[in-house]
Amino acid sequence: MLDITNNTIENHEAFEKLKSVQKTALPPSHIGVKRLLLVFLAVLLIGLFLPWTQNIQAPGKLTTLRPEQRPQTIHATISGRIEKWYVMEGQEVKKGDTIVYLSEVKSDYMDPQLIARMGNQIDAKEDAINAYSNKAGALSSQINALNRELLNKIGQTKNKIEQQKLKVMSDSIAIQQAQNDLAIAKRQFEGNRVLFEKGVKSLSDFEDKRLKMVETETKLVKAVNNLEISKNELNNAQIELTLTQNEFANKIAKANSDRFSTLSEQFDATVSVNKLKTETENYTRRSSFYVITAPQDGYIIQAMTPGIGEIIKEGAPVVSILPQNAELAVEMYVKPIDVPLLQPGNTVRFLFDGWPAFFFSGWPGLSLGTYAGKVVAIDRNISSNNKFRVLVAPDQSDANWPEALRVGGGAKGIALLNDVPVWYELWRVINGFPPDMYASTTEKTIKK
């Protein structure tokens, strides 16, 4: 119909009575759907501007915050045979409680009197050390006596040398005197000979003078011989001094050699005593390793080597124990792309296996059955699963974690990040961008 007039058909005929209108008109339900769509679009438009909490979701498992509180395996310190078990799996034990008793399997340690016999050996060696010490002291006294005797001998020989020097001097003077007497006797003999030739002196006087001259020559020869004897005796005294020094030097050297040998044997005996004491202490300590005790309060998880009479090697695992009153934590593994978004202190919500929970990803405040934690550590090295391990401890300001949680249980962690509009989050997800890692202007202002 052309729109050329302001008059309509409705003004002349009932529009609803027309068959064509009745067949082509929309049913009332379509109008309700239209209104519903409009309401839905309005709600969706409003919802796009609602706040949305960005988060990083990662699987994890329960562990302990401190390394010494994690499940540990107790190993055998020595080789032995299992004689008796004192615990059963699942049993609670206290620190120092006996877990298993071992018996000796090495022939070197089977003697029940081994420590006593080692003590006897130590006593014998210590007596030998005392004997060596006494012998070394006796040799030292002998060396001192030899030194004193050497000094006396040297003094005695030097006095003898001085006496011989004086005797040489005396014999030299005697030679001079004999030479003077001979010169006088020769002059008297020559004078008497002249007088005898002139007949003034008798033959007997002349013969007396000749005899006296001969006697004087004899005295001179004797004096020369005495001087040579004195010189030889002086040389002998000097040689005796040298021989005495050499003799006592040899004696002292031999005594020192014996003393040093004794000291060496004493030191060897001291080393042997120390070695025996070390072995005795090792045997004593080894006997304490026959009893394997609990290192701390906990629960027996599993016996690695069950049975009686089985032989275990040194360092072999015997039993696994779970420490009591452990501080639980969750280790979750985060993708490398999300690691820069996490910092120590970030809040993480957890859904634990076995505890019903309802979690709304963007509105954690509406979630039920979740528990809070704080990031305490982030590994600097990637794990074998190509992810980074993040350790999360319970948040003390929030509800306590369930007491029935056990180490090794599963958990799903949701690390809470910034609050952004819903439309921004949809745009980020569609484009594959990581969550917003920058603090908002309001947060920066508050920090300042």
Confidence category of residue 443, pLDDT binned at 50, 70, 90: very low
Asked if residue 356 lies in contact with residue 47, where contact means CB atoms within 8 angstroms, the answer is: no
Average of per-residue pLDDT across 358-371: 58
Residues 244 and 311 in one domain: no
pLDDT at 439: 45
Percent of the chain exceeding pLDDT 90 equals 5
Q: What CATH number does the domain containing 317 carry? A: 2.40.50.100
What's the structural domain count of the chain? 3
- Of the candidate ranges 68-82, 160-174, 289-303, the one whose mean pLDDT is the lowest: 160-174
Residues 312 and 358 in one domain: no
Residues 56 and 118 in one domain: no
Token pair of 63 as six digits: 């562990």
Distance CA 74, CA 100 (A): 11
3-state secondary structure the chain: CCCCCCCCHHHCCCHHHCHHHHHHCCCHHHHHHHHHHHHHHHHHHHHCCCEEEEEEEEEEEEEECCHHHCCEEEECCCCEEEEEECCCCCCEECCCCEEEEEECCCHHHCCCCHHHHHHHHHHHHHHHHHHHHHHHHHHHHHHHHHHHHHHHHHHHHHHHHHHHHHHHHHHHHHHHHHHHHHHHHHHHHHHHHHHHHHCCCCHHHHHHHHHHHHHHHHHHHHHHHHHHHHHHHHHHHHHHHHHHHHHHHHHHHHHHHHHHHHHHHHHHHHHHHHHHHHHHHHHHHHHHCCEEECCCCEEEEEECCCCCCCEECCCCEEEEEEECCCCEEEEEEECHHHHHHCCCCCEEEEEECCCCCECCCCCHHHCECCEEEEEEEECCCCCCCCCEEEEEEECCCCCCCCCCCCCCCEEEEEEEEEEEEHHHHHHHHHHCCCCCCCCCHHHHHHHC
Q: What CATH number does the domain containing 340 carry? A: 2.40.30.170
Residues 186 and 138 in one domain: yes
Q: Is residue 17 part of a domain?
A: no
Residues 274 and 416 in one domain: no
Residues 118 and 262 in one domain: yes
Give the domain-ending residue among 271, 288, 305: 288
Average of per-residue pLDDT across 141-152: 88
For residues 111 and 252, the model is more confident at 252
Q: Is residue 21 part of a domain?
A: no
Whether 441 shows a pLDDT value over 50: the answer reads no
Residues 119 and 241 in one domain: yes
Distance CA 234, CA 252 (A): 27
> Tens digits of per-residue pLDDT, 243-270?
888 888 898 888 888 888 888 888 898 8
Q: Is residue 304 part of a domain?
A: yes
Exposure string for 244-264, b = 16+ CB within 10 A, e = fewer = beeebeebbeebeebbeebee
Q: Is residue 16 part of a domain?
A: no
Q: Is residue 370 part of a domain?
A: yes
Q: Is residue 18 part of a domain?
A: no
Confidence category of residue 101, pLDDT binned at 50, 70, 90: very high
pLDDT at 447: 45
Asked if residue 48 lies in contact with residue 422, where contact means CB atoms within 8 angstroms, the answer is: yes
Whether 25 shows a pLDDT value over 70: the answer reads no
Residues 221 and 319 in one domain: no
pLDDT at 164: 80
Average of per-residue pLDDT across 66-78: 86
Average of per-residue pLDDT across 49-56: 71
Q: Is residue 109 part of a domain?
A: no
For residues 286 and 444, the model is more confident at 286
Whether 10 shows a pLDDT value over 60: the answer reads no
Residues 161 and 275 in one domain: yes
Asked if residue 349 lies in contact with residue 401, where contact means CB atoms within 8 angstroms, the answer is: no
> Tens digits of per-residue pLDDT, 91-100?
999 998 999 9
pLDDT at 100: 92
Q: Is residue 12 part of a domain?
A: no
Phi, psi dihedral angles at 178 (to 5 degrees): -65, -35
Confidence category of residue 365, pLDDT binned at 50, 70, 90: low
> Tens digits of per-residue pLDDT, 160-202?
888 888 888 887 887 788 778 777 777 777 777 777 677 766 6
Residues 263 and 343 in one domain: no
In this prediction the pTM is 0.55
Residues 276 and 371 in one domain: no
Residues 244 and 192 in one domain: yes
Q: What CATH number does the domain containing 158 carry? A: 1.10.287
Average of per-residue pLDDT across 151-157: 85
Give the domain-ending residue among 238, 267, 288: 288
Distance CA 399, CA 5 (A): 76
> Tens digits of per-residue pLDDT, 206-232?
677 777 777 787 877 887 888 888 888
Burial class (CB within 10 angstroms; exposed 0-12, middle 13-18, buried 19+) of 301:
middle
Q: Which domain holds residue 134?
A: 114-288
> Tens digits of per-residue pLDDT, 378-421?
888 888 888 899 999 998 888 888 888 888 888 888 777 766 77
- Of the candidate ranges 76-90, 235-249, 345-359, the one whose mean pLDDT is the lowest: 345-359
Give the domain-ending residue among 264, 288, 312: 288
For residues 165 and 85, the model is more confident at 85
pLDDT at 440: 42
